[in-house]
Structure 1
Amino acid sequence: MALFEQPGGAPPPALAARAPHLLGHYTTPLSAVPSYEQLPGAGQNGFVGGGNGVPIPGASTSAAGQGHDRPYRFSFYSNALSATIHARSLSELPAEGQTFEDMFLGRPGSSHSTGTTPTANLTSRGASQSPENCTWWLDVLSPTDEEMKLLSKVFNIHPLTTEDIQMEETREKIELFRNYYLVCFRGFDQDPYSPTHLEPLNMYIIVFREGILSFHFRPTPHPQNVRRRIKQLKDYISVTSDWISYALIDDITDAFGPLIQGIEYEVDSIDELVLILKEAEQSDMLRRIGTCRKKVMGLLRLMGNKADVVKGLAKRCNENWRVAPTSDIGLYLSDIQDHLITMTQNLNHYEKILSRSHSNYLAQISIEMTDANNQINDVLSKLTALGTVLIPMNLVTGLWGMNVHVPGQNASGFAWFGSIIGALAAFALIAGYSTYKLMVRR
């Protein structure tokens, strides 16, 4: 199935006027769009270049080779369609008997079929709709090098843009080119059961006047959320490529809201409990503080450059720029910028609170250790005082414990024994009282 193939090689006037960047300077029919099974060197095991080649994302490894277990990697939306088209490869996007030109321009094609194809049926409104009122959106998950080369050739995408997408450029930015502008905006993996949860996820948005291309390399709910939003608001808004771009940026920004709200609750809980918990209940407080600070720093890293990107995009909302967003979109972008600035300020505030709570926790631990040391010192002082009393007595009694003559040993009765015991007791009382007074005076 040829992409925008034209009999005789000459582009039709409607397509040339509607989507000149799709045709560019090409006057010959484009080659067939390859599916996974048609990629050069693709084997039955889903690898390019045989069994030792590079694996194709989502390729089937079943012996049947049908590929029905592969995920849908391409999603095509158009306001001339009654539903979104989902496909596993580019060649599966058009309906039977429909060309890519018909699909992008909202035409049903010469022999439109309503069979069991994976594509959605075109509405009668799409058949009579003028190309100027048709806005399309092609979302691509994990594009291969062959697919990027083909899309770059067809849509006349600059090699720098293609390189950024293929290399998964992580820096968020806005770039204006001759026939489109590129927005690189970074979200995060929202699947809590995924091993890459909360890791950065780049969204690359190429916005033309008549449509939009979006690329990402991991599944994300943002495209589906935007399509649902379009379905709810299509009777009240004009769905343009600039609006779809804004909606994607807005949905990525809104995804940070629940996380920041959860961090706020956790920070408030830590701040209240850090100084009132008993010693036995503080065992996991340091872990809670460390985990929360790690999450805050990760979100700050994700939020770092977003406000500047949206601000730069809003500044370019001028009718004098041919490919920049229109001025109406600038109002929406300014609202996103306010949200981003507010969330960044909140995260910075939470980081300060956590830093203070961390210091308070360490101070609390230090106070408890000081109290424990004071108790130990007090016990040792009492033992020292007791030793001060007993050692002289041991010296006196030990002197007479040797083989020497003891006064009164030949006397009858217990007079001598009672006198010695009384003298030792009196010495113990006087020495203990003197030691107590000395310790109290200190």
Structure 2
Amino acid sequence: MLNPEVDLKPDWILYLFLDIIADSYEPAANMAESETNAIDELIFYLSESDQHDVLRRFGISRKKMSLLTNKLKSKRDILLFLTSSRKSGNRVHGSTYVYFRDVLDLVQQLLVKVEQSRELLNSVQANYLAQLSVQLSVNSNKSNDSLNKLTVASVIFLPLNLIAGVLGMNVPIPFQRSGSLLPFFAVVGIMVMGALVFAFVCKRFKYL
């Protein structure tokens, strides 16, 4: 509170305006810090469906911090000009100089808080993007493994399909009129053995 006996000169009035303006930015700086901490804790509990929303929040928070930083820097420059030119220009009287310094300290503290929040936000975003990259790499490897297994299965069953197709043609084939089931079981056994051999080879060379 100002002393009622203080003569309200122009520098006092200017100080009052600057003090009110600086105080009005403090909730925004605190909110930026809280929002960044919330995002930092939130990224570990998100599902894949929430990824777009998180990236959008990164962009919104960064824009808010940039706007707040620009506003605070302009106020800091004004205060630096007023306090640094006290002796030469006599713009600020000695009785109010200390109050201008207090407002300048507050603005600088808010700037430091916003810059720290921005650095933390950039770090959180980098970690989140790295986490997404790892997840995409894992999913890609799983897809490649599935495709490799399907390819191996196709290679195993391709000769079997060829044998079945040849024996199923409407042309005379050996043992067609033998009247015994032995040729049938022989063909089935050959197909099963061939499939097992192919599977063993693929397993040996880690294709499966």
Tell me the TM-score normalised to structure 1 length. 0.44
1: CA distance, partners of 2:94 / 2:35: 40
Alignment-mate amino acid for residue 302 of structure 1: K
Aligned equivalents of 2:71 and 2:26: distance in 1?
13
- Structure 1 residue aligned with 2:195: 428
Quote the offset at 1:409 in angstroms: 1.3
Tell me the equivalent position of 2:70: 301
The residue aligned with 2:36 is 267
Q: 2:128 aligns with which of 358, 361, 367?
A: 361
Matched residue of 2:78: which SS?
helix
| Equivalence for 2:99 | 332
State the shift of 1:342 in Å: 1.4
The offset of 1:325, in angstroms, is 2.3
284-293 vs 369-378, greater mean Cα deviation: 369-378
Secondary structure (helix, strand or coil) at the match of 1:304 reads helix
For residues 394-409 of structure 1, the aligned pairs below 5 Å read 394-409=161-176
Asked if 2 retains the 8 angstrom alpha-carbon contact of 1:267 and 1:350, the reply is: yes
Q: How far off is 1:262 after superposition? A: 0.5
Structure 2 matches for 1:191-230, cutoff 5 A? none
User: SS of the counterpart of 2:86?
Assistant: coil
- Supply the AA of the counterpart residue of 2:188: I
Determine which structure has the larger strand proportion and give its number: 1
Which position in structure 2 is the counterpart of 1:240? 8
Are the aligned partners of 1:293 and 1:351 in contact in 2 as well (CA < 8 Å)?
yes
Q: Distance in 2 between matches of 1:302 and 1:416?
A: 90
Counterparts of 2:142 and 2:91, CA distance in 1: 73
**Superposition deviation, residue 276 in structure 1:** 4.1
Q: Separation in 2 of the partners of 1:402 and 1:269?
A: 70
Distance in 1 between the 2:86 and 2:190 partners? 104
2-structure distance, mates of 1:360, 1:278: 16
For residue 80 of structure 2, the aligned residue among 300, 308, 311 is 311
Alpha carbons 2:148, 2:207 under 8 Å: kept: no
- The separation in 1 between residues aligned to 2:127 and 2:173, in whole angstroms, is 66
Please report how far the alpha carbon of residue 345 of structure 1 lies from its aligned counterpart in structure 2 after TM superposition. 1.7
Q: Distance in 2 between matches of 1:346 and 1:358?
A: 18
Do the aligned residues in 2 keep the contact of 1:296 with 1:347 (CA within 8 Å)? Answer: yes
The separation in 1 between residues aligned to 2:60 and 2:46, in whole angstroms, is 19
How far off is 1:328 after superposition?
A: 1.6
**Counterpart Cα distance in 1 of 2:43 and 2:70:** 27
Q: Is the 8 A contact 2:149 2:207 kept in 1?
A: no
Larger relative contact order (Cα-Cα within 8 Å, sequence gap ≥ 6): 2
2:65, 2:118 within 8 Å by CA — same for their partners in 1? yes
Structure 1, gaps ≥5 residues long? 1-231
Match of 2:155 in 1: 388
Higher helix proportion (structure 1 or 2): 2
- Write the distance in 2 (CA, Å) between the matches of 1:417 and 1:332: 104
Whether the aligned pair in 1 keeps the contact of 2:58 and 2:125 (CA below 8 Å) is yes
Judge conservation of contact 2:152–2:207 (CA < 8 Å) in 1: no
* Alignment partner of 1:281 is 2:50: yes
Contact 1:303–1:344 (CA<8 Å) still a contact in 2?
yes
Structure-2 separation of matches of 1:311 and 1:397: 90
The one-letter code matched in structure 2 to 1:420 is: V
Give the TM-score normalised by the residue count of structure 2.
0.90
Pick aligned residue for 2:183 from 398, 416, 419: 416
* Secondary structure in structure 1 of the residue aligned to 2:206: helix
Deviations, residues 133-188 of structure 1 (Å, cap 9, x unaligned): xxxxxxxxxxxxxxxxxxxxxxxxxxxxxxxxxxxxxxxxxxxxxxxxxxxxxxxx
Structure 2 gaps, min length 5: none
Query: Deviations 1:294-351 (Å, cap 9, x if unpaired)?
Result: 0000011112232232122123434x86x62210211011111111111112222222
Deviates more, 1:425-434 or 1:360-369: 360-369
Match of 1:317, as an amino acid? R
Distance 1:304 1:349 in 2: 15
Residue pairs, 1:9-88, within 5 angstroms: none
Measured against aligned partners, the alpha-carbon deviations of 1:42-71 in whole angstroms (never above 9, x if no partner) come to xxxxxxxxxxxxxxxxxxxxxxxxxxxxxx
Q: Give the partner amino acid of 1:435.
A: C
